[in-house]
């Protein structure tokens, strides 16, 4: 019999799904009740694939950009959505500060800012 992954959310209302029966293929025993799916089971197949690519690249966001062909803000946005799906809070203020810092450093790298201008912007 072909095994299919259990959906983490209800296809009708979008709420979290629960397992109600577990069975052992070896001895035929079964257990009925209400069981929570693991946190990662809540992720969509696309989010699970993103996490897999993230882990293979050891969390290197630049490498994620290159492999997936997406921008830094898109990588961060997808990570934030995954973090929230797993039940954690994302600090949006830290994200804005990190994106601002990255933009300044990229401008410095491209020669659009001098070192002193970049330092001044990073301090403000």
Tens digit of pLDDT for each residue in 57-102?
999 989 999 999 998 888 988 999 999 999 898 876 666 677 788 8
Give Cβ neighbours of residue 87 (< 8 Å, ≥ 6 apart). Answer: 39
Span 96-123, average pLDDT: 83
| Per-residue pLDDT tens over the stretch 14-47 | 888 888 998 998 999 999 999 887 888 888 889 9
* Model pLDDT, residue 24: 93
* pLDDT > 70 fraction of the chain, expressed in percent and rounded: 95
Alpha helix ranges (H) inside 1-124: 45-56, 61-68, 72-85, 92-109, 115-123
52-91 burial code (b ≥16 CB/10 A, e <16): eebeebeeeeeebbeebeeebeebbebbeebeebeeeeee
Q: What does the domain layout of the chain look like in residue ranges?
A: 1-38, 42-123
C-alpha distances out from residue 104 to 2, 66, 98, 115, 118, Å: 52, 20, 10, 10, 6
d(CA 70, CA 73): 8
What is the reported pLDDT for 96?
A: 61
d(CA 102, CA 95): 10
The token pair that represents 11 in the structure block: 């296809």
CA distance 29 to 31: 7
């Amino acid at each position: 019999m072909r095994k299919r992954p259990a959906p983490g959310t209800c296809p009708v209302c979008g709420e979290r799904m629960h397992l109600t029966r577990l069975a052992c293929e070896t001895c035929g025993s079964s257990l009925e009740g209400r069981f929570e799916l693991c946190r990662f089971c809540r992720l969509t197949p696309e989010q699970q694939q993103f996490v897999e690519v993230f882990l293979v690249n050891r969390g290197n966001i630049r490498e994620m950009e290159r492999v997936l062909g997406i921008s830094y803000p898109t990588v961060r946005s997808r990570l934030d959505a995954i973090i929230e799906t797993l039940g954690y809070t994302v600090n949006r203020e830290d994200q804005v500060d990190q994106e601002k810092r990255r933009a300044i450093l990229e401008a410095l790298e491209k020669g659009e800012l001098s070192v002193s201008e970049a330092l001044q912007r990073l301090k403000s």
